[in-house]
Amino acid sequence: MEFTAKQIADFIGGRVEGNEQATVHTFAKIEEGKEGAITFLSNPKYTHYIYDTKASIVLINEDVELEKPVFATLIRVPNAYECVAKLMQMYAASLPQKNGIDPLAFVSKTAEIGKDAYIAPFAYVGDGVKIGDGSKIYPHVTIYDGCQIGKNVTIHAGAVIGADGFGFAPNQEGYDKIPQMGIVVIEDNVEIGANTCVDRSTMGQTVIHKGVKLDNLIQVAHNCEIGENTVMSAQAGMAGSTKIGSWCMVGGQAGFAGHIHVADKTMIGAQCGVISNTKGNGENLIGSPAMDPKDFFKAKALYRRLPDMYKEISALRKELEELKKK
């Protein structure tokens, strides 16, 4: 499929500078632009690329002033980044979508699969599982018995939904397994990354509320709950029964102790260790154990100066002793 600069400008409400008939059929980063590609300039750091780019069309903010003529046709818009995202969404939606249950998938006879859902080769869908309309289950996903997946959910390759929670009771010779009899409920519009694990609850449900986005290799333990539209980066992990509020952002490799509550709109830094309930909505946390970022960076800066502080304390002691003698 090809589009002209004019067609694109009309679609996104932009203004063409240059050849209205310039055509594109693909997307590129500005530094890798080539003929037939559309790109965008949003970050001022990259402005110098626009004079050399081979891209046929560049989306650019209205207020950017250029110092030299450029080869590419420009489309002026209020927000180039938003426009390119919008174009990419339109383009992606126009591509043929995979659909239906692949003959190489395993789907239990007692599972229910919604309309226009896609179940890829080697996906495993256990007994009694429900998968809503339009959801996409990629290869090597395992959905254990009884779990419920909403509509327009995407689960990437290798993710495991509903494996047993990690529950054992010590006895004299070792550990007894505590059966994990609950399920996992994943609500609508959730995206779950590759090789991420969401464990079933001991009783009741582990719940991922609607709109949540989980990156790759994340651990969500039994009985956890993640609120609407919370976003979590790769390799983060939650211990059992912890509840995270809605609209939170969690950095990569962050960890949460068990049985704690994180308030709505909390921002958690990468590698953060959250060991107790957070104080309230909108808090920022960083470090392990988690602290306010201002305190964290102030203390961290002094941390590097600990040897100086130590020397100064010793000097003060020595000088004070001398003073006392007098």
**Taking CB under 8 A as the rule, does residue 304 contact its own copies?**
yes
By CB under 8 A, tell whether 302 contacts its own copies.
yes
Q: What is the tally of helices (H) and strands (E) in the chain?
A: 4, 36
Q: Which residues are 218's β-sheet partners?
A: none
Considering only the stretches 1-9, 11-19, 66-74, 306-314, report the one whose residues sit in contact with its own copies under the rule CB under 8 A: 306-314
Determine the residue type at 151: K
Name the segment binding its own copies (CB under 8 A); options: 13-21, 61-69, 70-78, 311-319.
311-319
Task: Please list, in sequence order, all residues whose beta carbon lies within 8 angstroms of the beta carbon of residue 174, skipping any fewer than 6 positions away.
Answer: none
Active-site residue, 140 included: no
Task: Give Cβ neighbours of residue 313 (< 8 Å, ≥ 6 apart).
Answer: none
* Site string (24-43) toward its own copies, x via CB under 8 A: ---xxx--x------x----
| 39 within 8 A of 30, measured Cβ to Cβ | yes
Residues 101-130 that bind its own copies (CB under 8 A): 104, 106, 120-122, 124
Q: Interface with its own copies includes 281 (CB under 8 A)?
A: no
Using the rule CB under 8 A, which residue among 23, 138, 206, 262 binds its own copies? 138
235 forms part of the interface with its own copies (CB under 8 A): yes
Residues 45-84 that bind its own copies (CB under 8 A): 82
The nearer residue to its own copies, 65 or 321, going by C-beta atoms, is: 321
| Residue 44 sits in the site that holds its own copies (CB under 8 A) | no
- In angstroms and rounded to an integer, the radius of gyration of the C-alpha atoms of the chain is 27
Amino acid occupying residue 134: G
| Site residues (CB under 8 A) for its own copies, limited to 151-170 | 154, 156-158, 160, 163-164, 166, 168-169
Give the C-alpha separation, 14 to 30, whole Å. 19
Compute the distance between CA of residue 247 and CA of residue 43 in angstroms, rounded to an integer. Answer: 26
Catalytic-labelled residue, pool 48, 209, 222, 259: 222
List the one residue out of 252, 258, 294 whose CA is nearest residue 271: 252
For the bound state, the minimum distance from the C-beta of residue 249 to its own copies, rounded and expressed in Å, comes to 10
Give me the count of residues in the chain. Answer: 326
Task: Pick the piece of the chain touching its own copies (CB under 8 A) from 2-10, 56-64, 178-186, 260-268.
Answer: 178-186
| By the rule CB under 8 A, 132 interacts with its own copies | no
Distance in Å, CB of 134 to its own copies, minimum: 13
Report the nearest approach of its own copies to the CB of residue 264 (Å): 14
User: Which among 123, 162, 116, 160 has a CA at the least distance from the CA of 139?
Assistant: 123
CB atoms within 10 A of CB 263: 18
